[in-house]
Structure 1
Amino acid sequence: MAAPQTREVSGDAGGLATLLKAALPSLPVVGQLPGIKKASGADFAGLSFSRPPVTVERGHVERYAAVCGFPVKDTVPLPYPHMLAFPLHMALMSDPAFPAPAIGTVHLENSITQHRPVRIGESLAVTVAVDPARPHAKGTVFDFRTTVTADDETVWEETSAYLRRGKGDESAPAGATFPDAPAGGTVWSLPGDLGRTYAAVSGDHNPIHLYPLTAKALGFPRQIAHGMWTLARCTAALENRLGDAVRVDVAFKKPVLLPGKVAFGSRPLDDGYAFSLSNPRTGAPHLAGRTTDL
């Protein structure tokens, strides 16, 4: 097995050209061409990408805050550094060395650790690494681990678990479980263009989030909300109760169809909050999560 690879990529690696490149391995015939065909998972030893230091810009932070429901501050919303890591996620997934096509890979779970708030104007170094797949009952999971540093201080970390459906391992560990947080009286009405609005800020233009036709082409009845938007919106609802050092863990359940309504619930724990997002009519879960004070 080869040694893990480490590369540096530009900050625009998550653009439309990368999205197109990410889709090509899923196409019949085209996906088998040299330079497009994915490598064997048995030979994948891991991959790590970094980007040149990036300065946190107030204008972009405020646009993100407006879409996700955060107040305007001199520090960034807790999930915001994911915006800086997402181009690296896409670059990794679209690289021929990564064994799974990006299209059809499902964002299963996410864990964010904020060691301290990130200030607007700070210069941040961002690295994302992915290891060989681990077994799952419904296929295999790739963990994308993000590290964000400022002046060599680790200020923010994230693990994004992506599931590639296939032959699973029934003996594999089950996914994360969370304390119950029944829906309260808070219901959010989500517009049909939410996916396009969030895509304009995040750079995540996956067609399942954009229009009914593009979502239907990939098996959904209509467009769905981004999982990272649902995480951000729930975090925004708890924002004034979270400390400077905190971890947020979530599991993404059923997709949120747009337009639509979702019910938010939360309750205090000894060391944080449990929270949930669900269908207000049927109770079907969309997201389960918790915060933990550090």
Structure 2
Amino acid sequence: MGARPESGSRTPVELPRMPAVGALHRRALLGALPGLGKGRRGPDLPAVELTVGGVSVDRGQVADYDRVCGFRLSDRLPATFPHVMGFPLALRLMTAPDFPLPLIGLVHVGNRITTHRPITADETLDFTTYAENLRPHDRGRQVDVVLVGSVDGEEVWRGVSTYLGRERKPGGREAGERPAAPTATASWRVEPRIGTEYARVSGDHNPIHTSRLGARLFGFRRPIAHGMWSKARCLAALEARLPDVYTVEVAFKLPVPLPSTVSFALLPDGGFALHDSRGRPHLTGSVR
């Protein structure tokens, strides 16, 4: 099933500009309607890589992003911001008719970012995206969507987002003791506005983050925070400790309902975690 295309077998497709996110979300919603879009999806990953060149940084967007996620204002981009810049390109890939998993209902279960050097707000980036490693999961199938940012032909940033397409209902969970939550370093109140504000600065307007009705349609009692907001908020708390070159990887666990109070903790092994008031993990991460 879905063998990983080798890089040489993917067809490069250069787009003249970043796609319009709104149109892509409408396409995804239309394809999710009963009777539409069925039978078009292939069993394998699309053998293409999409590219957009010459993407400049919107300083106003960066400032808004810094405020929403808790970063200090700086000419250096937060490590998570290129994900936002290239998100429309990745969304174009995932809303293509031959992408094997429908966008609506996809669960973001993990993200790994590598910064090869600091990126400043006056730089212009080229972005490339492709999908790889379609594989089975207990609840369906998973896929990695790779997004690469380059400057003058040199890769400076790479992000890998892992998504789960749920195709089977989860079975019963085995009973067992939950490990004790780590001692909190900080406690944050996450207000409902975080869903709409992060959607505005990131372009990710998935209704599970911004609408009570949209959240209920997918089994949530109320909207949930974007996983990438949670990751960015944790990195903002670590900002003074981060080196110039590093990889930060997170696994998204339980969603963060809006509103809620979450606890951030530094782990003895150098990692970090985000937990709810009952000690259940929302996110676990590591920096190396």
- The question of a shared fold, defined as TM-score above 0.5 by the shorter chain, is answered with yes
Identify the range of structure 1 (181-190 vs 204-213) with the bigger mean alpha-carbon deviation: 181-190
Post-superposition CA distance 1:116-165 (Å, at most 9, x none):
11011101001111025122232211111111111111111111011112
Name which of structure 1's ranges 224-233 and 4-13 shifts more when overlaid on structure 2.
4-13
Contact 1:224 1:258 in 2 (8 A): yes
Aligned residue for 2:221? 221
2:12 is aligned with 1:6:
yes
1:49-128 superposed matches below 5 A: 49-128=50-129
Match of 2:29 among 20, 23, 47: 23
CA distance in structure 2 between the partners assigned to 1:246 and 1:181 by the alignment: 26
1:284 is matched by which residue type in structure 2?
A: R
Out of 269, 275, 278, the residue aligned to residue 272 of structure 2 is 275
TM-score for the superposition, normalised by structure 1: 0.87
Equivalent residue for 1:207?
207
**RMSD, matched Cα:** 2.2
Any idea what the Cα deviations from partners look like across 1:178-212, whole Å, max 9, x if unmatched?
xx981414110011121100000000000000021
**CA pair 119-185 structure 1, distance change in 2 beyond 3 A:** closer
In structure 2, distance between residues paired with 1:91 and 1:156: 20
Q: What is the SS of the residue equivalent to 2:29?
A: helix
Residue 157 of structure 1 aligns with an amino acid whose one-letter code is R
The alpha-carbon deviation at position 39 of structure 1 amounts to 2.1
Matches of 1:107 and 1:48, distance apart in 2: 21
Q: What's the CA shift string for 1:66-96, capped at 9, x where partnerless?
A: 1100001111111110011210121011111
- Identify unmatched segments of 5+ residues in structure 2: 170-179
Bigger drift between 159-168 and 84-93 goes to 159-168
Q: State whether residues 108 and 162 of structure 1, in contact with CA within 8 Å, keep that contact through their aligned partners in structure 2.
A: yes
What 5-or-longer segments of structure 1 have no aligned partner? 169-179
Question: In 2, Cα distance between the equivalents of 1:21 and 1:77?
Answer: 30
Aligned pair in 2 of structure 1 residues 149, 12: CA closer, same or farther (>3 Å)? closer
**Contact 1:57–1:121 (8 Å) recurs in 2:** no
What secondary structure sits across from 1:131 in the alignment? strand
AA aligned to 1:15 is V
Share of identical aligned residues, percent?
41
- Which aligned segments of 4 or more residues in structure 1 are displaced greater than 6 angstroms? none
